[in-house]
Amino acid sequence: MLGVRIFLFVALCVTGLFWGLPAKGNEQERLSILNLPSDPISFQAGPGSDIANSYCAICHSAEYVYMQPPHPREQWMEIVKKMKTSFGCPIPDEQISPLVDYLISQNSVQLSTPSYPVHKEVPDEMSGQAAKHPVDPKKGKTLYAQHCLNCHGTGGKGDGPIGQSLIPPAANLTLLGKKSDKAILDTIRNGRAGTAMPSWKAYLNQSAMRDLLAFLRTLSQ
């Protein structure tokens, strides 16, 4: 699985270079987008799951982890360090140990569909009703640090640790001023095809998404 993911990533990069070149004659430049299928499962909730989602999923699916036999701490530590030194994962040193703790906690977890506590969404403008939940940008800032910072950066300019290495690069969120709340919530909820932006509907309920939206609005002020 890991080898397949790396091969696809390299192939996408290489073919992307050629697809960006003008064709011979009077033909227009061609642009092709490869949409990979979504992962069948996600990292199960728990302390450190945000780290796994931020760094492990760069190269392989959560399924790859759950296919592994139970590993002792020393072996998980070796695997994570190899992920950093051999495959270039940008995980900070101080987050390696918490990630290993999380991976150990997943040793006994059986392969399953996501079990995140996503609560019933509150009504919003998408259903023609006003949202009842008072938004809290401070909570949104915490969610941003957990799920968005690695790609979009501290200030939201798309300059996070892995933001500029993505194809296409992470979006500059300071330019969202003209986008409607509905459009932004749709992207948070469903992700964006042809990019590394994933769907967060299995992680965040509607109230959390609105808190995140409230914080995103502060980035363009």
Query: What is the model's pLDDT at position 41?
Result: 67
Check which CATH number belongs to the domain holding 162 and give it.
1.10.760.10
Residues 6+ apart with CB under 8 A from 153: 159, 160, 163, 170
Query: What is the model's pLDDT at position 40?
Result: 54
Q: For the chain, list residues with pLDDT below 70.
A: 1-41, 110-133
User: What is the residue range of 147's domain?
Assistant: 125-219
Residues 6+ apart with CB under 8 A from 49: 43, 102
pTM of the model: 0.50
Domain check: are 147 and 210 in the same one? yes
Pick from 95, 115, 135: which residue ends a domain?
Answer: 115
Q: Answer whether residue 120 is part of any domain.
A: no
How many folded domains does the chain comprise?
Answer: 3
Query: What is the model's pLDDT at position 92?
Result: 92
Domain check: are 56 and 20 in the same one? no
Pick from 92, 115, 138: which residue ends a domain?
Answer: 115
User: Which pLDDT tens digit goes with each residue over 85-142?
Assistant: 877 888 999 999 999 999 999 887 754 444 334 444 444 444 444 456 689 999 999 9
Residues 6+ apart with CB under 8 A from 72: none
Domain check: are 2 and 47 in the same one? no
**Quick one: tokens of 6?**
């790396």
